[in-house]
Chain A
């Protein structure tokens, strides 16, 4: 057994644990990803409330912990302790199973998300197909929840959501196909559906697909970026839970832990679709200019970025500590924030030490560790930009009307994505 565990750490073994057939490390990766995504959802919860508040010239949560940093934890505790109500007329079993369907669909797709060339649970030959398919199962949770509540608003929310998802999936799929077509622009003329190979194709061709055949790649990316907001039921496409019309839409009757499972699934699905966009068009785990600036010196400079990012966060937090009122009422909060800043600084220090220790491009443990951190860092950074955009959209744009939503989906996005697909194919044939 120890041999089996250690065999994956052999520098000669390249690839994902799934590809190496090592179930132990696959399980470890699954646990890390699960913990990471859950933490990201907690951070996102806090960030969304704070950012939305600042967009609207409010302060947002300020009471629980310094700058409301402990608010998500307080929220989670509250939701867990809250009474769990199942309406008397609801379909008990389906009501119970609906949030789990959404959650399972949202988390299953993480098996193929490539955080790095070997930093993924598994690499499937049908990676992108698997992601689109399983993430489209998430709508079942919403539809079934709305129906099982046996109430009018949830049912209308569920119907809206299913119509919306089916409409936008078409444009989304066509945009994805045009990106996959671009992977076949190589000597052998064979494309790929595997997530890792898609990123490798961008590396070989020396261009992120968003910039390939400009503006075709960019238009396909834009269509995907719009459709993914609609797919995850986020503003301005949150017709399924339009609070001004439907109270809370499909989850009106849900409360407590079950409701929080819906939220968890929604945010996990947001991260998942953002990862698809990053993988297909923004070069996945690659740092900027990996081919142009590939000297070891550049490698070293770029590997300092993770440490510097956390150093910057620590500095901002320290400024927060200094600026906080010196009144004795805020004493505990100041100490708490200072501890948080110190933790961030420590993390920054560890990352910098790893970057410096592993700067030689050999196969030592430190070098491999540094490489892995780099890949995951750039991937997560790109995904984080999308997550911030989701908040930004919500703060900026008013909700669409349902007929407008359908008109955009079928009469604008679908023809454009079909046109882009055809043009991509034509340009590809001419250039190859």
Chain B
């Protein structure tokens, strides 16, 4: 983290978000991410995925986005991964671990991940122009009012709609439809 930006965001505070934290968290995320796809045992892979999600939550905290970090922990690490484990535990691990792993579409996966990597690399290389690329997204949000500012963007301030209110409501409607669909598909008699 840039020390100048850091002190600008939190005047009068010693920065906690040191590069040391970044390297530890990023290293942890990458290592456990590799473990997710290499472990033969599905439960081990799920546990490694939880470590990845938690270290990414730590990275969000370093980026002064505590709300996103909190939601990441609640939704992904606490909710979705518990359901994942719930399902995995019902699978016969012994037999599943002997199955052939990488199936025939792996070249497609490789190409897709290389394309994503190229995108990230180009974003980093063009880093000096990052403010040109994301001009109105580069507003630094102070950590102490991060949640309130997200709320302003999503719901708008008193009386008027925020820039993302419509998209947000549409997305929540979509999720509601998905929930209802899941209930109707699994339960024939209601």
Residues of A within 8 A of B (CB): 21, 91, 93-94, 97, 124-126, 129-130, 132-134, 136-137, 139-140, 143-144, 146-148, 155, 158-159, 162-163, 165-166, 169, 189-190, 193
Please, which residue of chain A has its CB at the minimum distance from the CB of B72?
Answer: A133
Q: A140-B50, A189-B158 are in contact. Are A133 and B78 (CB under 8 A)?
A: yes
Q: A125-B67, A125-B147, A136-B78 are in contact. Are A147 and B83 (CB under 8 A)?
A: no
Q: A125-B146, A133-B77 are in contact. Are A144 and B67 (CB under 8 A)?
A: no
Q: Can you report 18 residue pairs joining A to B where beta carbons are below 8 Å apart?
A: A21-B14, A125-B67, A126-B66, A126-B69, A129-B67, A129-B74, A130-B66, A130-B70, A133-B71, A137-B77, A140-B77, A143-B82, A147-B89, A159-B86, A159-B89, A162-B86, A169-B79, A190-B148
How does the 8 Å CB contact mask read for B50-64 relative to A, with 1 for contact and 0 for none? 100000000000000
Expressed in whole angstroms, the Cα–Cα distance for A401 and B78 within the complex equals 25
Please, which residue of chain A has its CB at the minimum distance from the CB of B13?
Answer: A21
Expressed in whole angstroms, the Cα–Cα distance for A310 and B69 within the complex equals 42
B78 touches A137 (CB 8 A): yes
B89 touches A193 (CB 8 A): no
Expressed in whole angstroms, the Cα–Cα distance for A169 and B75 within the complex equals 11
- Interface residue SS majority, chain A: helix
Ranked nearest first, the 4 interchain pairs of A and B with the lowest CB-CB distance are A136-B78, A133-B73, A129-B70, A133-B74
A93-B44, A129-B70 known, 11 other contacts, Cβ within 8 Å: A21-B16, A94-B43, A124-B66, A126-B147, A133-B71, A137-B73, A140-B77, A143-B86, A147-B43, A162-B86, A193-B147
Residues of B within 8 A of A (CB): 13-14, 16, 41, 43-44, 47, 50, 66-67, 69-71, 73-74, 77-79, 81-83, 85-86, 89-90, 143-148, 158
B73 touches A166 (CB 8 A): no
Expressed in whole angstroms, the Cα–Cα distance for A143 and B143 within the complex equals 34
- A residues in contact with B158, CB < 8 Å: 189
Expressed in whole angstroms, the Cα–Cα distance for A189 and B44 within the complex equals 46
- B residues in contact with A133, CB < 8 Å: 70-71, 73-74, 77-78
Q: A130-B73, A137-B73 are in contact. Are A125 and B143 (CB under 8 A)?
A: yes
Please, which residue of chain A has its CB at the minimum distance from the CB of B16?
Answer: A21
B66 touches A147 (CB 8 A): no
Expressed in whole angstroms, the Cα–Cα distance for A124 and B144 within the complex equals 8
- CB within 8 A of A158: which of B47, B89, B143, B145? B89
- Interface residue SS majority, chain B: helix
A126 touches B67 (CB 8 A): yes
Shortest Cβ distance from residue B95 to the other chain A in the assembled complex, whole angstroms: 15
Shortest Cβ distance from residue B151 to the other chain A in the assembled complex, whole angstroms: 8
- A residues in contact with B81, CB < 8 Å: 140
Q: A91-B43, A169-B79 are in contact. Are A129 and B71 (CB under 8 A)?
A: yes
Shortest Cβ distance from residue A325 to the other chain B in the assembled complex, whole angstroms: 53
Q: A21-B16, A94-B47, A133-B77 are in contact. Are A140 and B70 (CB under 8 A)?
A: no
Expressed in whole angstroms, the Cα–Cα distance for A94 and B143 within the complex equals 36
Please, which residue of chain A has its CB at the minimum distance from the CB of B157?
Answer: A189
Expressed in whole angstroms, the Cα–Cα distance for A147 and B86 within the complex equals 10
- CB within 8 A of B85: which of A93, A129, A147, A189? A147
- CB within 8 A of B82: which of A130, A132, A139, A189? A139
- A residues in contact with B90, CB < 8 Å: 159
A125 touches B85 (CB 8 A): no
Expressed in whole angstroms, the Cα–Cα distance for A132 and B73 within the complex equals 9
Q: A94-B47, A189-B158 are in contact. Are A126 and B70 (CB under 8 A)?
A: yes
Expressed in whole angstroms, the Cα–Cα distance for A310 and B11 within the complex equals 44
Expressed in whole angstroms, the Cα–Cα distance for A134 and B86 within the complex equals 19
Expressed in whole angstroms, the Cα–Cα distance for A140 and B79 within the complex equals 10
Shortest Cβ distance from residue A86 to the other chain B in the assembled complex, whole angstroms: 17
- B residues in contact with A136, CB < 8 Å: 74, 78-79, 82
Q: A21-B16, A125-B143 are in contact. Are A162 and B78 (CB under 8 A)?
A: no
Please, which residue of chain A has its CB at the minimum distance from the CB of B54?
Answer: A137
- CB within 8 A of A132: which of B47, B74, B83? B74
Shortest Cβ distance from residue B61 to the other chain A in the assembled complex, whole angstroms: 9
Expressed in whole angstroms, the Cα–Cα distance for A129 and B67 within the complex equals 8
Shortest Cβ distance from residue A419 to the other chain B in the assembled complex, whole angstroms: 18
- B residues in contact with A143, CB < 8 Å: 82, 85-86, 89
- CB within 8 A of A163: which of B69, B86, B145, B146? B86
B47 touches A144 (CB 8 A): yes
Please, which residue of chain B has its CB at the minimum distance from the CB of A432?
Answer: B158
B82 touches A165 (CB 8 A): yes
Report which residue of A94, A97, A125 has the largest number of chain B beta carbons within 10 angstroms of its beta carbon: A125
Report which residue of B70, B81, B85 has the largest number of chain A beta carbons within 10 angstroms of its beta carbon: B70
Shortest Cβ distance from residue B33 to the other chain A in the assembled complex, whole angstroms: 18
- B residues in contact with A148, CB < 8 Å: 43
Shortest Cβ distance from residue A24 to the other chain B in the assembled complex, whole angstroms: 12
- B residues in contact with A146, CB < 8 Å: 89
B82 touches A140 (CB 8 A): yes
Shortest Cβ distance from residue A94 to the other chain B in the assembled complex, whole angstroms: 7
Shortest Cβ distance from residue A251 to the other chain B in the assembled complex, whole angstroms: 16
Expressed in whole angstroms, the Cα–Cα distance for A134 and B66 within the complex equals 14
Expressed in whole angstroms, the Cα–Cα distance for A143 and B79 within the complex equals 13
Shortest Cβ distance from residue B10 to the other chain A in the assembled complex, whole angstroms: 8
- B residues in contact with A137, CB < 8 Å: 73, 77-78
